[in-house]
Amino acid sequence: MPSQTRIDGIEAYARRIKGIDMQALREGLAIAQLHRQVEQAMDSYLAAATLSARQIEIMESLYHHPEGVMTPADLAEEVHLTRSSMTGLLDALERRGYAQRDPHPGDRRKLAVSLTSRGREFLKGLLTGRYRKLDRIMGSLTSNERAVLLRAYRKVLDVVHGDLAGARP
């Protein structure tokens, strides 16, 4: 949870804003913090692999793709990153020998990204543990609780996407 000082400051500020539901704000902060803690737990597992969660997601996308090859733009869309962020992450994966970029066979303006044999072997060992950990985390909830959580997250995401589509900072 955020520190009590931070929560007090947020609440004091929010009280001055007309129409703010303080309970919804408090619960939103708590949910966001819990979400970060779950992510941190997964990241700590991945830290032993010395790769970031995003790098693992990129490798996982390539590993499970039917052709085993994707363009950087398709990968960026798949893992919700900007193309410039994707370039840096692919550079790092290439330096480690886990991924490679080659000319795209169907369009010479594009690149084709794939895992190297070293990357595939590395990922095979990691995925079993990753999926077991996620199963253990989500298995602590009943099927009904997971369904409720999914519906709630999707509802929040719909609002987020709606707000982001037309809003500027």
Model pLDDT for residues 25-34, shown as the tens digit of each residue: 988 888 888 8
pLDDT, residue 169, reads 54
pLDDT, residue 154, reads 92
pTM of the shown model: 0.75
Mean pLDDT across 126-133? 86
> Given a cut of 60, is residue 1 above it in pLDDT?
no
CB–CB of 68/59 below 8 Å? no
Domain boundaries in the chain? 1-48, 49-166
Q: In what order do the strands lie in the sheet with 99-103?
A: 69-70, 111-115, 99-103
**Percentage of the chain modeled with pLDDT above 70:** 95
Specify the CATH architecture of the domain 49-166. Orthogonal Bundle (1.10)
> Given a cut of 60, is residue 132 above it in pLDDT?
yes
Listed residue (89, 95, 102) closest to 118, CA to CA: 95
